[in-house]
Amino acid sequence: MTNPPDTTSNRRPGGRTARIRAQVLDAVRAELAESGHEGLTMEGVATRSGVHRATVYRRWRDVGGLLADVIAAAGETGWQPPDTGSLRGDLTALNQEIQESLVVRPSFAVALMAASFHSEQAARAQTRLWADRYAQCEILVERAVGRGELPARHADARSLLIAATAPLYHQLVLLRTRPDPRLPERAARAAVLAAAAGAFPVPREEGG
Amino acid sequence: MTNPPDTTSNRRPGGRTARIRAQVLDAVRAELAESGHEGLTMEGVATRSGVHRATVYRRWRDVGGLLADVIAAAGETGWQPPDTGSLRGDLTALNQEIQESLVVRPSFAVALMAASFHSEQAARAQTRLWADRYAQCEILVERAVGRGELPARHADARSLLIAATAPLYHQLVLLRTRPDPRLPERAARAAVLAAAAGAFPVPREEGG
């Protein structure tokens, strides 16, 4: 999916190949922003990117391939989870990032979600990206346990992270409520309170 | 949107008009189930329903009109929120219903969410339906306060209901994780624990 740089035909590894990918994916993002994934076509992307259409067809095959690659590229940006010194602060900062990405117009994040309802390939890439992001965020919970904010037995990271972030997606993407600037902090606080009360126990090892 | 029964041309109020609406909306549901909203056409619905296409065009105008009306009809079914005797039981039962509606294949609920990314009219109908459902569910929180399960000052019903239900939509619709039969109860329990810890305070009245 991520089209590894073609090192056989270029002196600088990935030079030309990486440049073409960047041009094409920039064009995909611009087209998505302008007209959503429904307006996305191979021809439109080729024209906007200035890359030969035969190259676009050969490397990305179809619109699903373009969407999957633009999602994969979003996972290659060196994103780092926040580190504010407290779990509540970290989750609030994370939620602020999420809220911004969903509220900005046009929203690339929302366009990708819409696309993944319609392209199985995009949906798989989206699922993978989210799995990676949640895995990256588990460190927030590990650090909180390390600081003594939360007992280890109450720190099932995945459930806690889902509880903290899900209300943002639900309200902003599905319910389409007006963005509330206090929501990131409130959802973070609710998840931390639930965690402290034992809502996210670590599953016990089976057998033994 | 809900096409009130035409009482001028029928002896039984809504008789023929209501029958035509039922036929057309049944056809919309069947077409959505078979091929999603992308396969939904005025012609397809007219053919399947056996209703004259001129009638379908006159009353529903376009695919957005059909989607909006099928969503409106979902709000007219006399649905009642669960009443199990405890907040945790009620939220678990509610989450079980939600999980079932999202997991069944084909899922009418998921088809409508997908459609509302693409039709402004469907999106408005969906937002209205959800607002109604959450408003109907506020009674769960009121009853819990009445039973002394939760102090009234900690019982902001809307935030509590969103916290209880959002993880299901997030996991099943957006993250597409494998359905976990324990999720409805766990998400309900987490929300109740957070509520007891004061995560959902009722906003104070402004001024005075």
Nearest CB to A117; choose among B114, B163, B196? B114
| Chain A residues whose beta carbon lies within 8 Å of the beta carbon of residue B134 | 175
Q: Does A105 or B199 have the greater pLDDT score?
A: B199
Grade residue B99 by pLDDT with cuts at 50, 70 and 90: very high
| Residue A112 shares a structural domain with residue A176 | yes
Give yes or no: residues A48 and A118 share one domain.
no
Distance of alpha carbon A56 from alpha carbon A44, whole angstroms: 11
Quote the number of domains for chain A.
2
A88 vs B39, higher pLDDT: A88
- The answer to whether the Cβ–Cβ distance between B194 and A198 falls below 8 Å is no
Whether A56 shows a pLDDT value over 50: the answer reads: yes
Whether A206 is in a domain gets the answer no
What is the domain range of residue B177?
Answer: 87-196
Regarding whether B118 and B182 lie in a shared domain, the answer is yes
B207 in any annotated domain: no
Query: Can you tell me the mean pLDDT for B9-23?
Result: 76
In this prediction, residue A26 has a pLDDT band, given cuts at 50, 70 and 90, of very high
List % helix, strand, coil for chain A (3-state, nearest 5): 65, 0, 35
Under the banding of pLDDT at 50, 70 and 90, the label for residue A144 is very high
Tokens at residue A114, please? 């819409």
Are B142 and B96 part of one and the same domain? yes
For chain A, give the percent of residues with pLDDT over 90: 72
**Residue A178 sits in the same domain as residue A92:** yes
Rounded Cα distance, A54 and A38, in Å: 22
> Percent of chain A beyond pLDDT 70?
91
User: What is the average per-residue pLDDT within A38-62?
Assistant: 94
> If interface means Cβ-Cβ distance under 8 Å, which residues of chain A face chain B?
36, 38, 110, 113-114, 117-118, 123, 127, 130-131, 159, 162-163, 165-167, 169-171, 173-176, 186-187, 189-191, 193-194, 196-200
* Residue B13, C-beta contacts closer than 8 angstroms, at least 6 positions apart: B5, B7
Residue A202 domain-assigned (yes or no):
no
Kindly report the nearest CA distance between residue B153 and chain A, in angstroms. Answer: 15
Of A169, A176, A186, the CB nearest to B127: A176
* In a shared domain, residues B103 and B136: yes
Give the position of tokens 């993250």: B175
Clarify whether residues B50 and B120 are in a common domain: no
A33 or B158, which is more confident: B158
Query: Residue A92 sits in a domain of what CATH number?
Result: 1.10.357.10
Give the integer Cα–Cα distance in Å for B153 and B203: 8
What integer pLDDT is reported at residue B197 of this predicted model?
96
- Find the closest chain B residue to A183 by CA distance: B159
Say yes or no: B103 and B22 in one domain: no
Confidence check: pLDDT of B98 > 50: yes
Q: Which of A40, A181, A190 is nearest to A103 (CA)?
A: A181
Residues B91 and B62 reside in one and the same domain: no
Q: Which pLDDT score, from 0 to 100, does residue A205 have?
A: 67
Q: What is the mean pLDDT of residues A114-141?
A: 92
Average pLDDT over residues A149-162: 96
Mean of the per-residue pLDDT values of chain B: 90
- Region A11-24: mean pLDDT is 82
Higher pLDDT, B36 or B50: B50
| Residue A66 shares a structural domain with residue A116 | no
Chain B residues with CB-CB distance to A127 below 8 A: 175-176
Round the average pLDDT of chain A to a whole number and report it: 90
Please give the average per-residue pLDDT across A67-76, as a whole number: 91
Q: DSSP letters along A118-153, please?
A: T-HHHHHHHHHHHHHHHHHHHHHHHHHHHTTSS-GG
The alpha carbon torsion through A134, A162, B95, B127 (nearest 10 deg) reads -100
- Which one, of B189, B181, B205, lies nearest residue B96 by Cα? B181
- Asked if residue A127 and residue A188 are part of one domain, the reply reads yes
pLDDT of A6 over the 50 cut: no
Q: Give B-chain residues touching A189 at CB under 8 angstroms.
A: 199
Average pLDDT over residues A177-200: 96
pLDDT of residue B205: 67
Q: Does A12 score more than 60 pLDDT?
A: no
Instruction: Tell me the average pLDDT across B32-57.
Output: 92
Mean of the pLDDT values across residues B123-141? 94
Q: What is the pLDDT of residue A112?
A: 86
Q: How far is CA A199 from the centre of its chain?
A: 26
Choose among A163, A171, A197: nearest Cβ to B167. A163
Count helices and strands in chain B by DSSP H and E runs: 9, 0
- A165 shares a domain with A109: yes
Residue A37: which CATH number?
A: 1.10.10.60
Is B118 in contact with A38 (Cβ distance < 8 A)? yes
In a domain, B9, yes or no: no
Over residues B37-62, the mean pLDDT reads 94
User: What integer pLDDT is reported at residue A109 of this predicted model?
Assistant: 87
B80 in a domain, yes or no?
no
Cβ within 8 Å, pair B194-A193: yes
CB contacts, 8 Å: A110 with chain B: 117
- Chain B residue at shortest CA distance from A193: B194
CB contacts < 8 A, A to B, total 97
